[in-house]
Structures are given as C-alpha cells and as structure tokens.
C-alpha cells in the first residue's frame, strides 16, 4: 500500500486527497472525519514551510476574514457561556462554528501549499468520484442512517451544492475548444440533480435553483466555449423538464398557484421570521443561546393559532445567529459571508484562480439561496464542504497577492 501511494501520489497530491476526504467523509457521519483530520494535519506539518500559516494570515485579502471570524467565535462563545442551557453541538452551536473555522484554516493551508493548477486538476479528478458515491447512496437513502441521509433537506443541500461545485470547476477551466471534452462528464451529474430535484427532494425550489444556477454560471464563465457548454446544459435541463411534463400529463397551474400551494411552500416562514425579529429585539446582546428551540417555539405559537406544527428555529441562514447569539454575532457572520464572496468575485479576474472561484461560487449560490428559507446548508455534515473549499480558494491568494 505504501509503495502504491509513493508510485501514484506525490506529497502535494496526498495532501489534497486527504483534504478532499475530510470534506466528503462527514456526509457519512460527523465523527468519522477525525482520522482524516489527523493525517491531514501530519501532511500539512510535513509539507508546509516554516511560517506558512503566518504568511497566509498576513495576506491582505485574507486577513479581514480571519479577524472577523475570530471575533465571531468569541461572541458565540460568550453567548454559549452566558446561556447555561446552550447546546454547543447544534447547527448554530460553538463547536460547529469552531469546526467551520478549523476547516477554513486547513483549506487555506492546503490552498497556499499546493500549486493552484495541481489543486484544480485533483479537484476535477476526485470530486466526481465522491459525488458518484453520494449518488449511489442516495438511490437507496431510506435504508441509510448516517450523516446527512437522516434529513432530506440536508441531502438536498448537498446534491445542489456539489453539483454547483462540479459545474463551476469544470466549466471555469475551459480555455480552448479541446477542453470542452472534459465538460461532458458533467452531464450525468446534472441530470441526476434534475431527477433528484423532481423526484426525491422535498423542496419545491430545488429545480428552480438548479436552472437558475446554470443561467447564473453562464454569465460568469470566462470563456465563450465555456458559455456554450453551460448554455447547452441549461437547455438540456429545460428540454428534460418539458419532456417530463409531456410524459407525465399536463400540469395543473391553477393548483400550483393556489393559496394553499403557496402556504405549503412558505410553511409559515413569514411568521417564523417575525418571531425571529421579536426574539432579536428582546435579546439583542447575547441572543437566546444555541439550540434553545423551546424559547423560539414559545414565541412562534401565538403567531400560528391552531397549527400543530413544531416550528423550532428561524428557517433562515441570515437570521439564525442574530437570534442565537445576538446582533453583534449576526453582523459578524454576515460580514464573513460578504468577505468570502468578495474573494470569489476577485478570483474571477484571474484566469488561474477562476475555476476554484466558480467552484466556491457554485457552493455558496445554493447555500445562500436555499438558506433564505432553510438552515440545512449550514448543517454540521456540510460545514467542511462549505468552509473548507472557501479556505482552499483563500489560500491561493497567499501565493500571489492581488488587491481587489
């Protein structure tokens, strides 16, 4: 085994392979990532030059992210200590937020150590393999009881986010007509995402987000051949959708646009957001604490007379930390997102970084869009995918600074 690794993988490739493993392994169970993190830490220590972390932290584009992230962690820690009943391991809890920071650091170290071209090559090489395993498991997910397969919304988030990542990195790397051949690999994954959105996902918005993302990507890819490829994928989805409607009978638009259907889609979310604002006003400094859904439920019940639903949280990525940890923590979290998106947009100006930038953009597109009405994109199983890849892109800036 040792001889096989030496023959087929150099140190840089081993580093990125184990980093990608730490991204995907949590989807099969959070605890299983620890052995990979230990190996990754060993490889980072072996490969990183002395002072590499300091160099990355001092990179002008990344420094604000680290500073705000640390401030955010301090505020979350303060809120968690202040509220003795806080659930530190919940989606908005301190341990999950700390793991997001750790993956961001590991991603930054990996991105700053591995050559950018080599990084993109390996991501294109191993992301499809990981996604294939997810697809094979998804087909029989009702019998699987680990990781994200315990929650359909988490599974929907992962399928959409990984599809976005794949489309971004492959289409972003198209530079000449011959490179179009590699993008063909995306077709089965896009078609699966379409099938998943229509047949498996419980979200009414999944298919709309998928189509919207392909249109969004076609605007941002740097090459005209890449535009042709993305537009083809867009048309494939549209034609597949029309075919699905034709062979499954006419769609009842009256039923689709009925108040009952709209109410089902929103699932009382406006009332949840109003309850969130009420809790923020009552607890502006330290919030209500992480995972304290009982307090949230007591506020939402008067707004929903007669409902039997247990609505336990804000159902919004943008409001969760305001409610749980206070206004300052909420603003810090939104600032971290803004700074990360700034790096993504900046990377699109650099032909070398563009594939990684579009990869991260694909992940964040679904995170922020789906996050308007759900917390699933922030689930602990998806933290490594979300923050690890963001750190990966950030780390590439330490190799050659570019001021936006």
The CA dihedral of 35, 41, 42, 48, to the nearest 10 degrees, is 160
Q: Within 13 Å and on the Cβ side, how many CA atoms surround 304?
A: 22
Across 18-27, 40-49, 329-338, which has the greatest mean pLDDT?
A: 329-338
What are the angstrom distances between the C-alpha of 310 and each of 126, 280, 300, 314? 40, 20, 9, 12
pLDDT for 336 equals 95
Domain for residue 73, yes or no?
yes
Which of 1-15, 148-162, 355-369 shows the lowest per-residue confidence on average (mean pLDDT)?
1-15
Q: How far, in Å, are 281, 292, 347, 394 from residue 271 at the CA level?
A: 15, 18, 39, 38
Mean pLDDT over residues 43-48, rounded? Answer: 79
Question: Whole-angstrom Cα distance, residue 9 to residue 107?
Answer: 19
How does pLDDT run across 108-157, given as a tens digit for each residue?
989 988 888 889 989 998 899 989 888 888 876 655 656 677 788 888 89
On whether the CB atoms of residues 110 and 395 are closer than 8 A, the answer is yes
**Alpha-carbon span 314 to 250, nearest angstrom:** 36
For 251, the 3-state DSSP assignment is: coil
User: What's the average model confidence in pLDDT over 10-15?
Assistant: 78
* Least-confidence region, from 184-188, 343-347, 398-402: 398-402
Contacts of 223 (CB under 8 A, 6+ apart): 174, 175
Residue 251 pLDDT > 90, yes or no?
Answer: no
In a domain, 178, yes or no: no
Q: Rounded to an integer, what distance in angstroms lies between the CA atom of residue 369 and that of residue 361? A: 12
Averaged pLDDT, 50-79: 85
Q: What is the mean pLDDT of the chain?
A: 80
Average pLDDT over residues 332-356: 91
C-alpha 390/C-alpha 394 separation (Å) is 6
On whether the CB atoms of residues 28 and 393 are closer than 8 A, the answer is no
Cβ-count burial 104-115 (b if 16+ within 10 Å, e if not): bbbbbbbbbbbe
Which residues, including other chains, have CB under 8 Å from residue 260's CB and lie 6 or more apart?
A: none
**Assigned domain for 110 exists:** yes
CB 113 within 8 A of CB 15: yes
Find the helix packing angle between 206-220 and 224-247, rounded to 10°.
160
Higher pLDDT, 331 or 91: 331
Compute CA 22 distance to the chain's CA centroid, rounded to the nearest angstrom: 14
Domain assignment present for 309: yes
Residue 373 pLDDT greater than 50, yes or no: yes
- Confidence at 309, pLDDT banded by 50, 70, 90: low
Neighbours of 318 (CB within 10 A): 16
Tell me the DSSP string of 28-89.
G-GGGHHHHHHHHHHHHHHHSPTTHHHHHHT-TTTHHHHHHHHHHHHHHHHHHHHSTT--TT
In a domain, 157, yes or no: no
Query: Sign of the C-alpha dihedral, residues 240, 243, 247, 253?
Result: positive
Count of domains forming the chain: 1
Q: How many CA atoms lie within 13 A of 177 on its CB side?
A: 0
pLDDT (average), residues 209-214: 86
Q: What are phi and psi of 223, to 5 degrees?
A: -120, 145
Give helix then strand counts, H and E, for the chain: 21, 0
Would you place residue 46 in the very low, low, confident or very high pLDDT band (cuts 50, 70, 90)? confident
> Is 401 within a domain?
no
- Ranges 189-198, 340-349, 393-402: which has the least confidence: 393-402
Mean pLDDT: which of 215-219, 314-318, 379-383 is highest?
379-383
How confident is the model at residue 403, as a pLDDT? 34
- Per-residue pLDDT at 254: 46
* Residues comprising the chain, all counted: 404
Residue 241, pLDDT > 70, answer no
- Nearest one of 216, 225, 134, 240 to 182, comparing CA atoms: 225
The three-state secondary structure class of 146 is: coil
pLDDT score of 261:
47
Q: Which residue has the higher pLDDT, 259 or 302?
A: 302
Segment (H or E) for 268: none
Minimal CA–CA distance to 199: which of 132, 152, 162?
152
Structural domain span for residue 355: 2-151+198-205+251-396
**Residue 218 maps to a domain:** no
**Residue 186 in domain:** no
d(CA 327, CA 284): 5
CA–CA gap between residue 251 and residue 249 (Å, rounded):
6
């Amino acid at each position: 085994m040792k001889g096989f690794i030496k023959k087929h993988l150099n140190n840089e490739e081993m580093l990125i392979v184990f980093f990608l493993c730490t991204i995907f392994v949590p989807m099969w169970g959070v605890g299983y990532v620890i052995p990979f993190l230990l190996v990754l830490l060993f490889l980072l220590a072996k490969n990183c030059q002395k002072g590499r972390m300091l160099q990355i932290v001092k990179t002008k584009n990344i420094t604000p992210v680290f500073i705000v992230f640390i401030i955010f962690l301090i505020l979350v820690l303060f809120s968690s200590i202040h509220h003795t009943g806080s659930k530190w391991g919940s989606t908005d809890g301190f341990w999950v937020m700390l793991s997001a920071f750790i993956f961001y650091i590991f991603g930054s170290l990996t991105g700053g150590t591995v050559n950018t071209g080599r990084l993109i090559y390996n991501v294109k090489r191993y992301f499809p393999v990981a996604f294939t395993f997810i697809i094979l498991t998804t087909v029989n997910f009702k019998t699987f009881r680990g990781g994200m397969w315990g929650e359909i919304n988490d599974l929907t988030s992962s399928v959409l986010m990984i599809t976005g990542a794949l489309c971004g990195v492959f289409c972003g790397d198209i530079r000449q007509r011959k490179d179009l051949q590699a993008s063909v690999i995306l077709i089965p994954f896009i078609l699966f995402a379409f099938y998943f959105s229509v047949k498996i996902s419980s979200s009414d918005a999944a298919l709309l987000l998928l189509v919207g993302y392909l249109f969004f990507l076609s605007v941002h890819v740097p090459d005209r051949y890449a535009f042709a490829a993305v537009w083809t994928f867009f048309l494939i989805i549209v034609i597949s959708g029309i075919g699905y409607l034709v062979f499954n009978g006419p769609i009842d638009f009256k039923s689709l646009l009925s108040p009952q259907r709209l109410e089902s889609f929103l699932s009382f979310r406006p009332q949840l957001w109003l309850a969130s604002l009420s809790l923020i006003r009552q607890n502006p400094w330290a919030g209500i604490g992480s995972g304290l859904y009982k307090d949230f439920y007591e506020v939402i019940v008067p707004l929903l007379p007669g409902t039997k639903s247990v609505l336990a949280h804000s159902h919004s990525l943008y409001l969760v930390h305001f409610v749980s940890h206070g206004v300052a923590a909420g603003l810090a979290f939104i600032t971290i997102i803004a700074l990360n998106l700034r790096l993504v947009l900046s990377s699109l100006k650099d032909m070398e970084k563009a594939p990684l930038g579009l990869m991260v953009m694909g992940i964040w597109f679904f995170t922020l869009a789906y996050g308007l009405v759900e917390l699933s994109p922030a689930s602990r199983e998806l933290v490594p995918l979300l923050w690890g890849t963001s750190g990966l892109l950030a780390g590439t800036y330490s190799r050659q600074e570019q001021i936006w």
